[in-house]
């Protein structure tokens, strides 16, 4: 059995591949359903054993056998709790001081940014360019997550269903399939594919899940929660800060799903391994649930954070290429503002 250090090094290699990978022509539709790209950058931290459920006694397989078997990913995700959120959320109230804090954090930064911050307890709210459109990158996995749990609760899908990783999805792997011990022809359980698309942001398995729940179903759910731009049915993969606010709000409240499913979704988002954005701007040990996404023209993070003045939602989107420092700066400024600092 290899050591935890070797696992960490393997993930770092996989993430380096992520930073370099991509579809040679991502805007060209194919005869098969759209394959969606978008993933964290290779500079993101390797797993933190205090927050990712991996230990030397609980590792991915060292060797990959003949293709075609069922690959277990039950080692990947543990359980992480998030405190309750107000129901309903406090109505948004524009806060000039909060807006000034966000603007100061972005002062001098190159690029286009969109930000939404909403304190769910007292309503303090600020927004910058909430309706500007960006390439979603891996943020598309958040509404897919919501739709998968919605369909599971309705009995439309079974998380125990075995799905085959075929060439159509595997060719868009950006390095994580090898880390997961998966090769073309292998099978995975639908529920474990859902875990992998969030925890390690695996794009191939995300597309596998998306094919199972249906592109139009995800888009219908997006429209139902108030998203006006975001769609997973086009390779343009557009989104806005306002749309991602709608997505993270719906996950936080469990819109259309059971309480158990709400908790499971937040648990998975609390275990995502990429911490360079919002999470880098909050104190260690703070409860959070987030989804990041980045590509050559996108660096995004959306999160639910248990703040010093109650839980808040923070959404930061940009047209930058793998640049996390501005997001971390905004996150830090928001935390300090809610803590009564400046």
Domain that holds residue 149: 4-61+72-338
Q: Is residue 66 part of a domain?
A: no
Q: Is residue 203 part of a domain?
A: yes
Q: Is residue 156 part of a domain?
A: yes
Scored b (16 or more CB within 10 A) or e, 211-249 reads: bbbbbebbbebbeebebeebbbbebebebbbbbbbbbbb
Q: Is residue 290 part of a domain?
A: yes
Q: Is residue 314 part of a domain?
A: yes
Q: Is residue 99 part of a domain?
A: yes
Residue pair 327/72 in contact (Cβ under 8 Å)? The answer is no
**The domain spanning residue 101 has which CATH number?**
3.40.710.10
Q: Is residue 67 part of a domain?
A: no
Between strands 288-295 and 298-307, the pairing is antiparallel
pTM of the model: 0.84
- The structural domain count of the chain equals 1
pLDDT in tens, the chain (342 residues): 333 223 333 333 333 333 333 332 222 222 223 445 544 333 333 333 223 333 323 445 444 556 789 999 999 999 998 888 999 999 999 999 999 999 999 999 999 999 999 999 999 999 999 999 999 999 999 999 999 999 999 999 999 999 999 999 998 898 999 999 999 999 999 999 999 999 999 999 999 999 999 999 999 999 999 999 999 999 899 999 999 999 999 999 999 999 999 999 999 999 999 999 999 999 999 999 999 999 999 999 999 999 999 999 999 999 999 999 999 999 999 999 999 965
Q: Is residue 101 part of a domain?
A: yes
Residue pair 233/215 in contact (Cβ under 8 Å)? The answer is yes
Among the listed residues 322, 302, 295, the one whose alpha carbon sits nearest the alpha carbon of residue 137: 295
């Amino acid at each position: 059995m290899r050591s935890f250090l070797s696992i960490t090094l393997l993930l770092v290699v996989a993430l380096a591949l992520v930073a370099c990978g991509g579809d040679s022509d991502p805007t060209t539709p194919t005869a098969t359903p759209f394959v969606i790209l978008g993933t964290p950058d290779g500079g993101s931290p390797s797993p933190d054993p205090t927050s990712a459920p991996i230990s030397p006694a609980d590792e991915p397989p060292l060797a990959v056998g003949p293709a075609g078997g069922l690959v277990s990913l039950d080692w990947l995700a543990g359980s992480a709790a998030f405190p309750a959120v107000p129901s309903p959320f406090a109505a948004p109230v524009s806060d000039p001081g909060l807006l000034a804090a966000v603007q100061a954090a972005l002062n001098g930064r190159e690029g286009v940014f969109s930000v939404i911050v909403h304190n769910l307890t007292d309503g303090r709210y600020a927004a910058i360019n909430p309706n500007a459109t960006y390439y979603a990158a891996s943020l598309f996995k958040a509404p897919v997550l919501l739709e998968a749990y919605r369909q599971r609760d309705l009995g439309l899908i079974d998380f125990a269903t075995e799905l085959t990783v075929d060439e159509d999805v595997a060719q868009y792997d950006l390095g994580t399939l090898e880390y997961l011990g998966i090769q073309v022809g292998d099978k995975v359980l639908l529920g474990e594919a859902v875990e992998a698309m969030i925890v390690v942001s695996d794009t191939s398995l995300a597309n596998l899940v998306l094919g199972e729940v249906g592109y139009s179903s995800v888009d219908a759910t997006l429209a139902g929660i108030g998203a006006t731009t975001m769609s997973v049915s086009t390779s343009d993969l557009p989104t806005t800060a306002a749309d991602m606010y709608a997505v993270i709000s719906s996950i936080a409240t469990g819109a259309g799903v059971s309480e158990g499913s709400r908790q499971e979704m937040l648990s998975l988002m609390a275990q995502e391994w990429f911490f360079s954005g919002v999470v880098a701007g909050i104190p260690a040990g703070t409860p959070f649930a987030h989804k990041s996404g980045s590509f050559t023209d996108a660096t995004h993070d959306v999160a639910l954070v248990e703040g010093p003045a109650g839980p808040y939602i923070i959404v930061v989107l940009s047209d930058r290429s793998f640049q996390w420092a501005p997001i971390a700066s905004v996150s830090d400024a928001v935390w300090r503002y809610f803590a009564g600092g400046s």
